[in-house]
Homo-oligomer: A and B are copies of this chain.
Amino acid sequence: MTDKKTTYCKCLYYSANALARGITKMADEAFSVVNLAPSYAFIVMTVNKQSGLQAGELAQIMMLKPSTVTRLLEKLEIQDLVKRQTLGRLTLIYSTPKSLEINKKIENAWYVLYQNYVEILGEKFANQLTENVYSSALKLEKV
């Protein structure tokens, strides 16, 4: 209501961050069954599917900065959920027995997350929203 609220909700900075916090909270819960924050779980899943990919590729796929990915990988390696191999100036990331072992659980948690927000937003709306949000993120990234 009131003027202020109108003002806020008309700003994409504000709205996008609010949505990100909300869905992150949901994702945190969904992935808590594997004791991983969502970004970590996503890395594990990706590496399980594409063992041997470059750190930089991972950063690109996830739209994160390389330095951020380094930080995430450090912690995953400590937990034995990825293995890093330095090859010249590249770093290649490999799955591990442990990461493969929990893969099913992660994929399941991911699906649960999807179900959860679909239940709140409606499937059609949620899918459309995700697509629009994604394409916008891509466009902003290219600036």
Interface residue range, chain A: 35 or more
Flag A23-38 by CB within 8 Å of B: 1 or 0 each. Answer: 1111100000000001
* Complex: A26 Cα to B125 Cα, angstroms: 27
Given A13-B113, A26-B143, A49-B3, A136 and B8 touching (CB < 8 A)?
Answer: no
**Number of copies of chain A assembled together:** 2
Give, as a whole number of angstroms, the nearest-CB distance from A14 to chain B. Answer: 7
Interchain CB contact under 8 A, B24 and A130: no
Q: Is A90 an interface residue (CB 8 A)?
A: no
Q: Can you report 7 A-B residue pairs in the complex whose CB atoms are below 8 A from each other?
A: A11-B114, A12-B133, A13-B38, A16-B133, A18-B133, A19-B136, A22-B140
What 3 A-B pairs are tightest by C-beta distance, nearest first? A22-B140, A20-B20, A18-B137
